[in-house]
Amino acid sequence: MSVTEQDVRAAAPSNAPEDVLEWVAKIAELTTPDAVEFTDGSQEEWDRLTAQMVASGMFTKLNEEKRPNSFLARSLPSDVARVESRTFICCEKEEDAGPTNHWADPTEMKATLKEKFTGAMKGRTMYVIPFSMGPLGGPISQLGIEITDSPYVVCNMRIMTRMGKAAMDLIAAGKPWVPAVHSVGMPLAEGQADTAWPCNDEKYITHFPETNEIWSFGSGYGGNALLGKKCFALRIASTMARRDGWMAEHMLILRLTRESTGQQFHVTAAFPSACGKTNLAMLQPTIPGYKVETVGDDIAWMRPGPDGTLRAINPEAGFFGVAPGTSYKTNPMAMETGKANSIFTNVALTDDGDVWWEGIDGDVPAHLIDWHGKDWTPASGEKAAHPNSRFTVPASQCPIICPDWEAPEGVAVDAVLFGGRRATNVPLVAEQYEPAHGVFIGASVASEVTAAATDVKAGSLRHDPFAMLPFCGYNMADYWGHWIEMQKKVGDKFPKVYQVNWFRKDEDGNFMWPGYGENSRVLDWIVRRAAGEVEAIDGVTGRYPKFEDFNLDGLDIDEAVWAKLFAIDPDAWAAEMDDTEEYFSQFGDKLPAAITEQLAKFRARIAAAKA
């Protein structure tokens, strides 16, 4: 017997408003679940659902002494990552989605989704998750409700968002909310046994920016199913931000405190994948006198504050990080954050009930259970953990979480960083010449493809403007235009933009810059620039530090190596600007005139360098 409207009303908490009840009843009528639960984010609920998933085989409880209150999940090989080819922006005009998004007609997609979701939750429980992205009730925060038939999603959303009664109270008070519907797309016939990881081979991750709706079908994994993450916090939020005069960005946020004076600086940074974003968010400075604290590791929502500064919040309550390569050497703070109350997905299981992945500290074990649930030894010839395996961990457990990470008004941003993985020609750090040049830096970000990408030759460049390529909910050229408008709106208080590159190599293929904690030296120069304490010199890609102003104490970097870190090949840059112009051309008349002007200015600087 499927859920009726009376069942929905009977299950609902007393603070659920009428519009929510009507919507939930409508989705229940479409999807025909066997039961409905309104989630509250309580410990009792967590204990009940995790025990339920252990019993079903979806979760494995980890060693309580080594990893208290933590669990391992294994997905199917067909459901291990975001599915960009099945991710759609459904707006009335195709040009509003732009050439870098997959567009679908909203009326046609709604018809397809109606067919897919009809009866999709049969045999399952429908969970209703009220949640807040950002601190509850804050001026930059937003509310949503996700409906899902996956208890895995409920438990992950408990870590990643502020979920439960307090969020529903705000919705009941009349605050706007984003409706998000998710199903794994695997209805169960009466008496049919479930699988440990139900999902459908056919997947749809769809966004309707004009109505602020999200519908996701077929996947149970990550950002395809945790709809507060990329779907809401970037794709839908970016369109909301454009309409309402704020910014939703794929950026970490950190606080750098100068211990001698107590001065605080806040930096946001956008990098494509495999460029050290989480490592920078949880940086351990190697130079004395500075302390770094983490505000956020992945997403920043920014809005002009009452004092005129651009203020940023982390809309998430947890970190959903890539496990392989994370260790006490590369990111000790991330390792400490995941010591308890965490969910690990698609990593390996040790014989003593702990987690393991490639790149973690210590020797490789002689035996593991791999992410497929099979016996594994070093001779197996396959990775024990999936390359995109993840940890879902509460941000509050991070030892260096910023005391103001939940400040509703956000933190005032002093600098914005863009970077990619570039072995040649991109200097260690460069400051914008003018605001529009800062947007040009972000718009022209290109990063070298790693060997993990099978569709593109390793080492070739992939454009990923603002690290937002898969996440911008509307036309990318309009997004650049919105940045230019926000710069004008905020004026002189808009933070300066910097291009950074930790990955420069010498003629022997060795990294010239040590990276990791040493990146604090770059931040040191950037905040001294923000404070007006040091000058910069003009270069082709931007304004560079003077050798004598940069803290290189203890590093084996002399003026000759320094010169290599900032050397540029004018011919190579001329060729790259030709490639950039070709990339920009796909946006046609929507490309902001300021971007075209910056391209011309860049070429003029290249020509001057050749002279």
For the chain, list the domains and their CATH numbers: 5-59+84-245 (3.40.449.10), 248-317+404-610 (3.90.228.20), 319-395 (2.170.8.10)
**20: nearest Cα among 147, 163, 190, 205:** 147
Q: How many Cβ atoms are within 10 Å of 408's Cβ, its own excluded?
A: 15
Q: What is the pLDDT of residue 275?
A: 86
Catalytic residue among 231, 275, 398, 402: 275
258 is in an annotated binding site: no
| Range 463-498 burial, b when 16+ CB lie within 10 A, else e | bbbbbbbbbbbbbbbbbbbbbbebbeebeeebbbbb
372 is in an annotated binding site: no
275 is in an annotated binding site: yes
**102: nearest Cα among 470, 465, 462, 456:** 470
- Identify the H or E element spanning 412: strand 411-412
Hey, which bits of 9-76 come out as E strands?
Answer: 35-38, 59-61, 71-73
Q: How far apart are CA 432 and CA 409, in angstroms?
A: 27
**598: nearest Cα among 579, 577, 583:** 577
| Mean pLDDT, rounded, of the chain | 96
**What is the residue type of 179?**
P
528 is in an annotated binding site: no
415 is in an annotated binding site: no
Hey, which bits of 46-133 come out as E strands?
Answer: 59-61, 71-73, 87-89, 102-103, 125-133
Rg over alpha carbons for the chain, rounded to the nearest Å, is 24
509 is in an annotated binding site: no
Is 33's pLDDT higher than 90?
yes
Q: Tell me the percentage of the chain whose pLDDT exceeds 70.
A: 98
Q: What is the pLDDT of residue 157?
A: 98
Q: What is the pLDDT of residue 450?
A: 58
220 is in an annotated binding site: no
496 is in an annotated binding site: no
404 is in an annotated binding site: no
Q: What is the pLDDT of residue 310?
A: 98
Hey, which bits of 424-525 come out as E strands?
Answer: 429-431, 446-448, 461-463, 496-500
Q: What is the pLDDT of residue 238?
A: 98
588 is in an annotated binding site: no
Is 256's pLDDT higher than 80?
yes
Average pLDDT of span 500-507: 96
Q: Specify the residue for token string 């080492």.
A: 459
Burial class (CB in 10 A: 0-12, 13-18, 19+), 412: middle
**Whole-model pTM?**
0.97
425-483 pLDDT, tens digit per residue, is 999 999 999 999 999 999 999 998 754 444 445 568 899 999 999 999 999 999 999 99
**449: nearest Cα among 202, 263, 260, 273:** 273
Q: What is the pLDDT of residue 453?
A: 44
Q: What is the pLDDT of residue 454?
A: 41
Q: Specify the residue for token string 């937003």.
A: 142
Q: How far apart are CA 236 and CA 383, in angstroms?
A: 35
Is 176's pLDDT higher than 90?
yes
Is 374's pLDDT higher than 80?
yes
- Residue 611 pLDDT grade (very low, low, confident, very high; cuts 50, 70, 90): confident
Is 472 catalytic? The answer is no
Q: What is the pLDDT of residue 451?
A: 47
298 is in an annotated binding site: yes
Is 390's pLDDT higher than 50?
yes
519 is in an annotated binding site: yes
290 is in an annotated binding site: no
Q: ∠ CA(283), CA(289), CA(295), 5° rounding?
A: 35
Helix, strand, coil shares of the chain, percent, nearest 5, are: 35, 20, 45
39-81 pLDDT, tens digit per residue, is 999 999 999 999 999 999 999 999 999 999 999 999 999 999 9
Backbone angles phi, psi at 545, to 5 degrees: -70, 155
Q: What is the pLDDT of residue 457?
A: 56
